[in-house]
Amino acid sequence: MLYCEKCKITIRADHKSCPLCHGGLSGVGGKEDSIFPDIPVLKKRQISFFSMLTFCCVLAFIFSFLVNNIIPSKGKWFIYVIGGTCLVWIVLIWGKSKWKNLLKNTIGQMIIIGFGVGICDVFIGWEGWSVDYAWPILIFLSLIINVIITFVKKLQPSDYMIYLLMNCVFGLTPILLVQLNISKFIIPSIICSGFAMVLLAGLTIFRWDQVVQELVKKFHM
């Protein structure tokens, strides 16, 4: 602490002179001698994306359930609202968690949405629209998006090869469903699988060394 010989007082705060006589002080002062206690700054709590999204989904559940019971209607349509909302929740959570890897993000969202529409098609009485339209269109869009991302970001083969190969493999499933007579409307399937075949041929012909290298690395062959 600081001490004033003239006033015979000790000073806890960090002063250059005595606050009474303005004379010199002896001793050493410091922040630890401050007369005022250190008060921690309270940070304002931020509402996380996950919390807000979950709250909005729960509101959608409650609102649809109440409306379905208040307004006379046939069937429990609120179940479809809940299913659709859950699908949106999963897609957004996946998108936020994988935003740094856009190629992986795109493939993951394609799988999640495709699985969701397939379940929806089953629950409403299997009309086949999920395999005739939804699945081929989703895969085709993911192929186009990933090709654009690869060129725009100028990715190296090691960064895009395995994801484009996976995308191409998924792209062959629509034509397989056509051959198995599961898919009836073949135009979307042919367009999707045709583009996947062209892309796969381009990768294997022009980037064969990188294809083999990535397969060996990923599957530890």
207 vs 3: which has the higher pLDDT: 207
CA–chain centroid gap for 178, Å, is: 32
Q: Hey, which residues does 3 pair with through a beta bridge?
A: 10, 26
For residues 199 and 138, what is the distance between their CA atoms, to the nearest angstrom? 16
pLDDT value at residue 189: 95
| Residue 175 pLDDT class (50, 70, 90 cuts) | very high
How many residues are recorded in the chain? 221
Q: And the tokens for 155? A: 């990715």
Give me the residue spans of the domains in the chain. Answer: 1-38, 131-219
Under 8 Å between Cβ of 78 and 64 = yes
| Block residue for tokens 């559940």 | 61
Q: Which pTM was predicted?
A: 0.72
Which residues touch 107 (CB under 8 Å, ≥6 apart)?
142, 146, 163, 166, 167, 170
For residues 125 and 212, what is the distance between their CA atoms, to the nearest angstrom? 44
User: What's the mean pLDDT in 42-56?
Assistant: 78
pLDDT value at residue 40: 63
Q: Which one, of 133, 144, 132, 131, lies nearest residue 195 by Cα? A: 144
User: What's the mean pLDDT in 102-128?
Assistant: 92
* Torsion from C-alpha of 136, 142, 143, 144, nearest 10 degrees: 110
- For 65, other C-beta atoms within 10 Å of its C-beta total 15
- For 211, other C-beta atoms within 10 Å of its C-beta total 19
pLDDT value at residue 162: 92
- Average pLDDT of the chain, as a whole number: 86
- Tell whether the model's pLDDT for residue 72 goes beyond 80: no
Q: Hey, which residues does 2 pair with through a beta bridge?
A: 11, 27
Burial of 196 (0-12, 13-18, 19+ CB in 10 A): buried
